[in-house]
Amino acid sequence: MRRWLISPTLLTAAMVAIAAVPRVSREAMHAMEISFDKRIQTPSVDAQFELLGNTRGVYLEGYGAVFTSEVNLLLSANISPFQPTMPKEFVTKLRLRKLERVPVLKKTMEDEMVAMASSLDAVPANEQIVLGVTLFYHSWEDTAGLPSQILMQAERQKLLDVQLGRVSRASLDSIIRVQEL
């Protein structure tokens, strides 16, 4: 039976190599979850969204940080025993107001992605920051032209360049890949 002896130098080198790989802590991810929740709930006095559950984030080694949330663009009345159907003019007006709020949500998401990139130091610069928001609609709503999800994805380094002023904030449109589903 052979016994392998590992030299103390080799063992120390292995431990240093493992320690040198940055790990994204759960605390850092949780801080970003809370940050996005706050930003969603108070983007401005006249444009508050309804957050449905807390934002959740995971770090995927070799890929990046991924955050998801569910949001209602606008708090509204719902069907009840006292109002079993929604008037057509209310449904139309609600759809138009929600359409106006989609760009506000997208701007809020962009701002949060830049903040996440600067706060998540342990995420390697070449990895991704991803933010996905699922939008809630009542079954009676007219959702024509409204997205059911908005997904944003960008390389952390490019977001940092915007944060640090190396690249114009106007270039976020070309840095962040946006998908509306």
Query: In this predicted structure, what is the pLDDT of residue 5?
Result: 56
Cβ within 8 Å of residue 120, ≥6 positions away:
24, 28, 29, 32, 65, 129, 156
Residue 15's identity, in one-letter code, is M
Query: In this predicted structure, what is the pLDDT of residue 42?
Result: 81
Task: Please report whether residue 10 resides in a domain.
Answer: no
First to last CA, the chain: 61
Query: In this predicted structure, what is the pLDDT of residue 82?
Result: 77
Query: In this predicted structure, what is the pLDDT of residue 80?
Result: 79
Task: Please report whether residue 5 resides in a domain.
Answer: no
Q: What is the domain range of residue 136? A: 23-180
Query: In this predicted structure, what is the pLDDT of residue 9?
Result: 57
Q: Per residue of the chain (181 residues), what is the pLDDT tens digit?
A: 555 555 555 455 555 444 455 589 999 999 999 999 999 988 566 667 999 999 999 999 999 999 999 999 998 878 777 778 889 999 999 999 999 999 999 999 999 999 999 999 999 999 999 999 999 999 999 999 999 999 999 999 999 999 999 999 999 999 999 999 9
Task: Please report whether residue 151 resides in a domain.
Answer: yes
130, 67 in Cβ contact below 8 A? yes
Task: Please report whether residue 1 resides in a domain.
Answer: no
How far is it, in rounded angstroms, from Cα 30 to Cα 179? Answer: 25
The predicted model scores a pTM of 0.85
List the one residue out of 93, 77, 73 whose CA is nearest residue 85: 77
Residue 115's identity, in one-letter code, is A
List the one residue out of 138, 51, 68, 148 whose CA is nearest residue 102: 148
Q: What is each CA distance from 128 to 111, 114, 169, 172, in whole angstroms?
A: 15, 12, 18, 14
Query: In this predicted structure, what is the pLDDT of residue 8?
Result: 56
102, 119 in Cβ contact below 8 A? no
Give the chain's domain count: 1
Query: In this predicted structure, what is the pLDDT of residue 83?
Result: 78
